[in-house]
Structure 1
Amino acid sequence: MKVVLTIAGSDSSGGAGIQADLKTFEAFGLFGTSALTVLTAQNTTGVTDIQEVSPSFVKEQINAVLKDFDVAAIKIGMLYSKEIIEVVKESIKDLKTPIVLDPVFISKASSPLLKEDAVEAMKELFEYARVLTPNRYEAEALFGYEYGNDSSLESITNAPTAVLVKNHVVDTPEGKVSLDQLFMGKKKVAIQTPYLETTNLHGTGCSYSSAITANIALGHSLEVSIKRAKEFINLAIESAPNIGNGPGPINHKAAGEKVK
């Protein structure tokens, strides 16, 4: 069985963060391990508190996993502070393991998820990743990206790694689609699924990046991994359990049974 590692925050409601990553890994038949960076008190209606894990303990968690397991791929999510970013960098900089970096710092609701002084520090991790998976707000902040504006693409096409920009909703003659754009240097690949009218989107970003990680660990190419992950998320949203009083979580188990 392949082993994968997620370095990310905890979601007490179980729909996002570490919990979503582990559910996603299991849905693809992988064994998930974890290193927690922050603890959050949250549910589907919002986050009420955040407690940062000490950087030294984050490092201990990562080292404990890497010393004992042959890790096939790593997903990095919410890092929160430049001190945590620094210990993560020290832990991964010499690894040959493929890394999916979800640069979590602006949520779909435009809420900040990273300390203000840590954004520049996070950019130092980009060179170690196989792919970055920002949403469109994060892509704009990091690269000046604007959908449909070719003159805004110079920075993103010169990024040190591939960049997948998520969360576009586009009207087509066949109806609305959920569109993501993968930039690999000057090459651009569009990946889409039918758009689903729903509020059950809690944890989709975390689950998407961990599904990409899972498929890379299974030996798929980056493009195939993203396409399979995109299908997985679409299926998970489609079968969401409709729980909670806010934007609900998705159904990882049901999607995993269908996507294999």
Structure 2
Amino acid sequence: MTRRAAPVDYPVALTIAGSDSGGAAGVQADVKTMEACGAYGTSVVTSVTAQNTRGVHGVHHLPPEDVTAQLDAVTDDYDVRAAKTGMLGTLETLDAVVDAVTDFDGPLVVDPVLVATAGDVLADDTVAAAYDALFAHATLLTPNADEAATLTETAIQTRDDAVAAARALRERGADAVLLTGGDSYTDDERAVDVLVTDDAVRTFVGERVDTERTHGSGCTISSAITARLARGDDLETAVARGIDVVARAIRYPHAVGGPTGSVHHLATLRDDATRDDVATVVRDLAGLDPVADAAGATPYAESLADVAGGAGGRFGDAGRLGEVLLAARERDPAYRYALTLDRADALAADATPVDLDAADLPAQRVAETAVAADADGAAVRDPDGTATLLAPSAAALRDRLA
């Protein structure tokens, strides 16, 4: 018997950028991210780089006619709903891309790539000087602070500097500018992204992750936004989702190569794929006799929206136990599940809990006490006799019950 095919209809997104042989940035990062965000990714390669996490060891810029041929091939056959540009390399390539996007009526995200994460120059001075011709067609520019400083010839040290630079870039033709905060500002050590549109300035503020493994972060956020625009999101929604995607990609990077590593482009997709299983496990744990409450986090959980809780195992319903679990994951992201027990004597004999010195302590304090007590399966006892138990797996929790 011949099986019937079941085609999947995803909107098409296009990236026009250089390749990264290390897979962390460039078209490799773009296509992975687009697919992870619900779009079919197509690509036009502008330059081939010999690149890894330690640097760019060689660059070959394709002739502009080869870039145009790729663009023609993609747009002739695919219904491209949104596009982005990355590394363009030479003035001739930029001109070819400008010619191609002049008649494109979908959203265009321009990531003005000038320098790689490791510091290697990816575009000559003539490209930076001529970007205005492309900006005029852009729905959104996504420079980081260094790129914005180069393009505006100003120093960007504070949040006000970032807003001023974004406004200056927008005045050069783009509909909007998202200035991404890869480095700390002198007046704010958090991760701050600034979105400037025609009528508003919006800032997105998140906690900074202590890691050097950020290679590919700029490509990831611009591609995520492009994919969401292809799916029909409005600009602010697409930007907010893109920021969430790259934040998770940076928090849970790939442990490959040298210090700059690679962000995890598929972290959100893989996280979402575990939600049903996590919910099922939480419902099973909540049904155990001594259990008053249960919670379970996805592998790459970032907020209570990623933690299932209660008898129904619903995401977003984990409450205080979910807060304790998330706080524990800040110390060690291996922690995935947590239980509240009606009584501490329901613990196994070898699971000695640490006594808390007061009731209703902040979740962070409870988590720190528990994690410090036992890295393999932490337990604490409240003054009222109840106990909280944390572990990397549901099986480990069950093993610690009497």
Query: AA paired with 1:89?
Result: V
User: How far apart, in 2, do the equivalents of 1:28 and 1:20 lie?
Assistant: 12
Partner of 1:136: 145
Alignment pair present for 1:3 and 2:12? yes
Which deviates more, 142-151 or 61-70? 142-151
User: How far apart, in 2, do the equivalents of 1:92 and 1:243 lie?
Assistant: 36
Alignment pair present for 1:198 and 2:207? no
Native 8 Å contact 2:81 2:230 kept in 1: yes
Query: AA paired with 2:59?
Result: I
Partner of 1:250: 263
2:247 alignment partner, one of 229, 234, 237: 234
Partner of 1:75: 84
User: How far apart, in 2, do the equivalents of 1:215 and 1:234 lie?
Assistant: 16
Query: AA paired with 1:164?
Result: L
1:194-242 Cα distance to aligned partner (Å, 9 max, x none): 2100111010011110011011111111111111111111111222121
1:121 alignment partner, one of 130, 134, 139: 130
Query: AA paired with 1:200?
Result: R
Which deviates more, 111-120 or 73-82? 111-120
Native 8 Å contact 1:231 1:259 kept in 2: no
| SS in structure 1 of the partner of residue 123 of structure 2 | coil
User: How far apart, in 1, do the equivalents of 2:60 and 2:186 lie?
Assistant: 41
Partner of 1:165: 179
- How far 1:152 sits from its partner (Å)? 4.6
1:221 alignment partner, one of 234, 240, 243: 234
Flag structure 2 segments of 5+ consecutive residues without an equivalent: 1-9, 274-402
Native 8 Å contact 2:84 2:222 kept in 1: yes
| SS in structure 1 of the partner of residue 190 of structure 2 | strand
1:9-33 Cα distance to aligned partner (Å, 9 max, x none): 0000111000000110111121111
4+ residue segments displaced more than 4 Å: 149-154
Partner of 2:202: 189
- Aligned-residue Cα RMSD (Å) equals 2.1
2:221 alignment partner, one of 208, 212, 215: 208
- How far 1:109 sits from its partner (Å)? 4.9
Flag structure 1 segments of 5+ consecutive residues without an equivalent: none
Native 8 Å contact 1:157 1:186 kept in 2: no
Distance 1:148 1:192, change over 3 A: closer
User: How far apart, in 1, do the equivalents of 2:199 and 2:82 lie?
Assistant: 25
User: How far apart, in 2, do the equivalents of 1:148 and 1:206 lie?
Assistant: 22
Q: Please report the TM-score for the alignment, with normalisation by the length of structure 2.
A: 0.61
Q: Please report the TM-score for the alignment, with normalisation by the length of structure 1.
A: 0.92
Alignment pair present for 1:98 and 2:107? yes
Query: AA paired with 2:177?
Result: V
Which deviates more, 128-137 or 163-172? 163-172
Native 8 Å contact 2:117 2:214 kept in 1: no
User: How far apart, in 1, do the equivalents of 2:139 and 2:171 lie?
Assistant: 14
Distance 1:81 1:129, change over 3 A: same
Partner of 2:7: none
Which deviates more, 109-118 or 94-103? 109-118
Summarize the alignment of residues 59-70 of structure 1 with structure 2, pairs less than 5 Å apart.
59-70=68-79
| SS in structure 1 of the partner of residue 210 of structure 2 | coil
Distance 1:152 1:3, change over 3 A: closer
- How far 1:170 sits from its partner (Å)? 5.0
| SS in structure 1 of the partner of residue 233 of structure 2 | coil
Distance 1:99 1:259, change over 3 A: farther
Partner of 1:53: 62
Distance 1:244 1:10, change over 3 A: same
1:111-154 Cα distance to aligned partner (Å, 9 max, x none): 32211222222221001010001111111122245334469556
Alignment pair present for 1:87 and 2:96? yes
User: How far apart, in 2, do the equivalents of 1:217 and 1:45 lie?
Assistant: 33
Query: AA paired with 1:127?
Result: A
Aligned-pair identity (%): 36
Q: How many residues align?
A: 258
Native 8 Å contact 1:9 1:39 kept in 2: yes
1:138-187 Cα distance to aligned partner (Å, 9 max, x none): 11122245334469556235232211111242588xx9421111111352
User: How far apart, in 2, do the equivalents of 1:183 and 1:109 lie?
Assistant: 28
1:78-129 Cα distance to aligned partner (Å, 9 max, x none): 0000000111111110110110000111344553221122222222100101
Distance 1:220 1:109, change over 3 A: same
Higher-Rg member (1/2): 2
